[in-house]
Amino acid sequence: GAVVSQHPSRVICKSGTSVKIECRSLDFQATTMFWYRQFPKQSLMLMATSNEGSKATYEQGVEKDKFLINHASLTLSTLTVTSAHPEDSSFYICSARGSTEQFFGPGTRLTVL
């Protein structure tokens, strides 16, 4: 089946620094990619939807200046957490939509000290 990769799988950073997470669709082109955040013992929350070549659409309550999303090509989307704080620590999952369904990446565990 289709594969979506994320890099890095884990990252630890200091408060105030920025972290970039990459999401790639490895064997298909994804015109739409999604970024989710998963809190401990809670469900996935959709953060934003990005379409290749256009600005991302953010869900209500998600700060677009803090969570920068770039979808520069049909196989790559990036999420940058700017000026990270401990409350940004979470598990971030990307998803890419193929022709018939969404495929999920393995997730990135972000820990902000």
Partner 1 sequence: GDSVTQMEGPVTLSEEAFLTINCTYTATGYPSLFWYVQYPGEGLQLLLKATKADDKGSNKGFEATYRKETTSFHLEKGSVQVSDSAVYFCALSDSNNDMRFGAGTRLTVKP
Which residues in this chain contact partner 1 in the complex, by CB under 8 A? 4, 6, 34, 41-44, 46, 49, 93, 95, 97, 101-107
> 42 vs 54, which CB is nearer to partner 1?
42
Give the Cβ contact number of residue 42 at 10 Å: 9
Structure tokens that stand for 80 in this block: 């940058």
Q: Closest Cα partner for 16 from 97, 100, 103, 83?
A: 83
Structure tokens that stand for 95 in this block: 């998803």
> 84 vs 96, which CB is nearer to partner 1?
96
Q: How far is the CB of 15 from partner 1 (least distance, A)?
A: 26
> 80 vs 91, which CB is nearer to partner 1?
91
Q: How far is the CB of 101 from partner 1 (least distance, A)?
A: 6
d(CA 67, CA 110): 13
